[in-house]
Amino acid sequence: DQQVKQNSPSLSVQEGRISILNCDYTNSMFDYFLWYKKYPAEGPTFLISISSIKDKNEDGRFTVFLNKSAKHLSLHIVPSQPGDSAVYFCAASDRFYNTNAGKSTFGDGTTLTVKP
């Protein structure tokens, strides 16, 4: 039973346009969500996060939207740049309220390709 799903394995976008990466989750106990970016042969790098008390968090070109009723979140990248080409992982945890929680549950990732 996969609790965090990224249904699109890949996404291709033209430079300068918007990239929208989607993520769905099933566990209603999740209260903290993160996006990571991963280049080949490197570890994931934290990108942006959002807690369940918010529905939007913005950091430069990156915005994460959370729809708790739909158990859905999305990452918007505007404008997209060729350097954004990477695998993007959505992750979720119940760490905010559970003091012993630490693990994050990851989706399988979406490979974003931004074409010049």
Partner 1 sequence: NAGVMQNPRHLVRRRGQEARLRCSPMKGHSHVYWYRQLPEEGLKFMVYLQKENIIDESGMPKERFSAEFPKEGPSILRIQQVVRGDSAAYFCASSSLSTGTADNEQFFGPGTRLTVL
Measured from the CB atom, the residue of 52 and 74 that comes closer to partner 1 is 52
Dig out the tokens for 37 from the structure.
């970016």
Query: Closest separation between CB of residue 108 and partner 1, Å?
Result: 4
Q: Are strands 4-5 and 19-25 parallel, antiparallel or unpaired?
A: antiparallel
Region from 19-27, 34-42, 60-68, 74-82 binding partner 1, contact rule CB under 8 A: 34-42
Region from 22-30, 42-50, 58-66, 78-86 binding partner 1, contact rule CB under 8 A: 42-50
Region from 15-23, 59-67, 75-83, 100-108 binding partner 1, contact rule CB under 8 A: 100-108
Which of 1, 43, 60, 70 contacts partner 1 by CB under 8 A?
Answer: 43
CA distances from 24 to 1, 5, 82 (A): 13, 5, 26
Query: Cβ–Cβ contacts within 10 Å for residue 2, how many?
Result: 12
Nearest CA-CA partner of 110 in 27, 38, 45: 38
Measured from the CB atom, the residue of 17 and 46 that comes closer to partner 1 is 46
Query: Cβ–Cβ contacts within 10 Å for residue 27, how many?
Result: 14
Dig out the tokens for 18 from the structure.
């918007």
Q: Can you give the binding site for partner 1, defined by CB under 8 A?
A: 6, 32, 34, 36, 41-46, 49, 51, 89, 91, 95-97, 99-109
